[in-house]
Structure 1
Amino acid sequence: MISLLRRRNFLLFLGSELLGAQASIIGLTLVAVAAFDQSFVTSSMLGAVQAVLMVLLAFPAGVWVDRTRRRPVLVTAALAHSVLLFSVLAAWSLDMLTMSHLWVAAVGIGVASAFVYVARPSFLPTLVHRDALIAANGTLTAFGSLAGLGAGRAVKWLLAIAAAPVALLIEAVGALVSAFLLHRIDAPEAAAAGRRGFMKELREGLGFLGNYPPLRVVTFATGLAYLSLTVVTVNQARFPYNSMGLSDATFGWLGTGGTAGAVAGALLAWPIARRIGRIRTFWLSLMATQPFLLFVPNDWPGAFQAVPVFVQSIGFSIFVVTQVSCIQAIVPGGLLGRTTAAMYVLVTLLSTAGLLVSTLLNIFLSTQVVLLIGIAGLIAAGAVVMRSLQPALSG
């Protein structure tokens, strides 16, 4: 992992990730609250637009990304993000800003986000060798988690000092610098295949996802894991924490444990995979750690209450890193955009379905029983990989 940080192109890519290539609408949300006195419920609709567009445009973005080189797509998306935010900032400074302008900016950033989300993981194998993908994805995930935590605290601070324009300016400049860093990457990309028709190319990508046995196993295990995690998360929220006498400090420890576990898992993925093999790491990450969810909540003393959450987060973070790396390693480069898009849509839909499944199960079963079902689903996802993928692809 340390050697990756000595590689110029990977460092530029990492810098672009941290500085705003992953488009967001934090600045727009703050502006909606500050300039138009919108409630956070109303302003959060700007974020909902982005989320919906990312799902609707995932497949078109996947086809487009596989038709062209990925770096220009990322540069264009980052520039579009920056220009849209600067336009909002300029309109606000001239007292010409309207909610319609914010909606147009949110839609534009949503479109850019769809292409960014598909193009980034498709571009990474161009920068690092196949054997270094787990280390690269782990580094990106760890730094991204830390940056996300810092961004959340920055938003609270900016709200406290009523500095929405500052947030908007920081995000706009970050996206602009991100575009510059991506432009500086000089890794050669293979020429893309010619156009053969949207539906034909889409069927080709989905067909590979469904017909190649190892990838089919990864897809099924990923879908089951995210569905089960949603069921677990929903039912943990249903616990009567207040009646259990848990303090505010306990909730703080639980939140910290989850974030720390995600970062630790991302950093541990490569050392563990190097020692026991990629596929073994893939299934053990769930089977060895998700049972710790049985101890949430608990009455252990102080910070020890966060240990089960910490361990569970480590395991799921390792699972995510190895899952993404596995797809990047086994999918041909010319199909990676469409495969990434399909996996994103699958995870989003199954995570949403997890809410419905949890609601239906809670009609007939107790919270504790539904929680056990969710934990069993997470362990089963690891078992699927162990039984089906391990024999086909040894670590």
Structure 2
Amino acid sequence: MSRAGSLWRNRDFMLLWAGQSVSMTGTELTAVALPFAAMTVLGASPLQISLLTACGFLPHLVASLPVGALVDRHRRRPLMIWCNVCQAVVLGSVPLAALLDGLGFAQLYAVAVVAALLSVMFDTAYQSYLPTLLRGEQLVEGHGKLSVSMSFATVAGQSGAGALITAIGAARAVTVDAVSYLVSATTLALVRAEEPVPAPRPAGARLRTEILEGLRYVLGDPLMRPVVLANALVSAAIGGVWSLWIVYVYNELHWTAAQTGICMAVSAAGGIVGGLLTRRLTQRWGLPRLMLFGVVGYALDLVPTLLAGPGMAGYVLVTVGHCLAIAVQMTYIAANRSFRQLICPPELMGRMNATSRWLALGSKPLFAVLFGLLATWIGLWATLALGALTFALPTAVMLASPLRTLRGVPSRPLQEESC
């Protein structure tokens, strides 16, 4: 790509990127602050905290597919702006209610459900909107930069949450996230690029028919199917092993909370490096090969943990290994999203993204329960080892598909205009 085509000079993308970076940081903060508000302000029990977490998953399972069909009927940017404004109002109600001594569990549950529903709508529209701003290599570079923001947001949001909660309280800390959504809405409103109006639907078109059309495309296309299924398997394995990994390093490797936090921060720094390298690696290998390389990072992620023992040597081994694995994984995330958006017909973009998210997020709670039961029956180490094998399944799915012989992105009808 020439220097003139650099995203640093793309005003509209820089606005989108800046707003998303701020918003993602606020979201990571709320992920910590909302449960803390339930515990510190309302004295929530473990069951009530679990119910609050479940409320955040419910809209992803129930609403993703119809939202995808609705997104394909409308322009995406106005929808994204309104979602951000509504998020600010919904989350802003938490510190306001706490200030008036009116915060209760019913409100927190409602906030979790509505905020998650708005997140489903925004994320589906956002992933469908990006290809209208960027094309080809720029789309890959854009996903790489957004992956950098994702890693930075994890570090800044979660570490900043602790300091902010200590300073002003958990409920007031949610104010920062509410303001971050207003920042994102403002940057989106300043974008100048014209977004094409979706083609009108045939008279009498039904939402159910359009949902099924999206499912048939995702599960029937020989290139889209393995990419989406691999993504769902990665998400399922993460859901199964993530919380158990924390339990394992605490109980078996005797890590403190501070050591765990440092490991996460260092690993997120690896994610930043991976995001920055995505464009260069794509130019050298092509998106299909980068996906095959990047997905291996998940299979290797748990190996250092399984080999490590207690003590500083084991701690360094796990931290360095996790950092390298996260760097590789970020290249996979950027390549996976870019490839899906580049091969997808524009009229199916929303439904494709929604179906992918539905399969990925819907599998997480199921595998969390399954691996929790396995840990009870066969022990933590054996369950994590099984998790490492599960992470190898996405690689097998892609190697068994036409992706293994591709170097670049194949041309598709209708791709030129919008994807």
TM superposition score normalised by structure 1: 0.87
Moved more, 165-174 or 33-42: 33-42
Post-superposition Cα deviations, 1:212-233, rounded to whole Å, max 9, x if no partner, equal 1001111222223333444454
Structure 2 residue 14 is matched with structure 1 residue 5: no
The 3 A distance-change label for structure 1 pair 87 and 271 is same
Structure 2 residue 171 is matched with structure 1 residue 158: no
Post-superposition Cα deviations, 1:324-357, rounded to whole Å, max 9, x if no partner, equal 1111111112211111111111112322332344
Cα distance in 1 for residues equivalent to 2:318 and 2:151: 22
Aligned residues: CA RMSD: 3.1
The 3 A distance-change label for structure 1 pair 15 and 52 is same
Structure 2 residue 28 is matched with structure 1 residue 15: no
Q: In the TM superposition, what is the alpha-carbon distance from 1:9 to its structure 2 partner?
A: 0.7
Out of 307, 312, 316, which is 2:320 matched to?
A: 307
SS at the partner of 1:193?
Answer: coil
- For these two proteins, the number of residue pairs brought into alignment is 395
Query: Structure 2: which amino acid aligns with 1:216?
Result: R
SS at the partner of 2:175?
Answer: helix
Partner of 1:284: 293
Partner of 1:223: 232
Out of 191, 197, 206, which is 2:197 matched to?
A: 191
Cα distance in 1 for residues equivalent to 2:393 and 2:400: 10
The 3 A distance-change label for structure 1 pair 242 and 55 is closer
The 3 A distance-change label for structure 1 pair 214 and 45 is same
The 3 A distance-change label for structure 1 pair 249 and 32 is closer
Out of 136, 140, 150, which is 2:146 matched to?
A: 140
8 Å CA contact retained: 1:283, 1:383: no
Cα distance in 2 for residues equivalent to 1:36 and 1:365: 37
8 Å CA contact retained: 1:50, 1:113: no
SS at the partner of 2:302?
Answer: helix
Instruction: Note the residue ranges of structure 2 that are not aligned, 5 or more in a row.
Output: 409-419
Partner of 1:70: 76
Instruction: Note the residue ranges of structure 1 that are not aligned, 5 or more in a row.
Output: none
Post-superposition Cα deviations, 1:254-283, rounded to whole Å, max 9, x if no partner, equal 333432233222222222111111111110
Out of 269, 272, 285, which is 2:278 matched to?
A: 269
Partner of 2:363: 350
Cα distance in 2 for residues equivalent to 1:109 and 1:157: 24
SS at the partner of 1:213?
Answer: coil
SS at the partner of 1:57?
Answer: helix
Partner of 1:318: 331
Moved over 6 A (4+): none
Cα distance in 1 for residues equivalent to 2:104 and 2:240: 40
8 Å CA contact retained: 2:214, 2:348: yes
Cα distance in 2 for residues equivalent to 1:60 and 1:372: 37
* Paired-residue identity, %: 26
8 Å CA contact retained: 2:250, 2:256: no
Post-superposition Cα deviations, 1:53-84, rounded to whole Å, max 9, x if no partner, equal 23211112111111000001100101111122
Matches within 5 A, 1:79-228: 79-95=85-101, 97-164=103-170, 166-195=172-201, 196-228=205-237
Moved more, 241-250 or 103-112: 241-250
Moved more, 84-93 or 57-66: 84-93
Query: Structure 2: which amino acid aligns with 1:324?
Result: R
Query: Structure 1: which amino acid aligns with 2:15?
Result: L
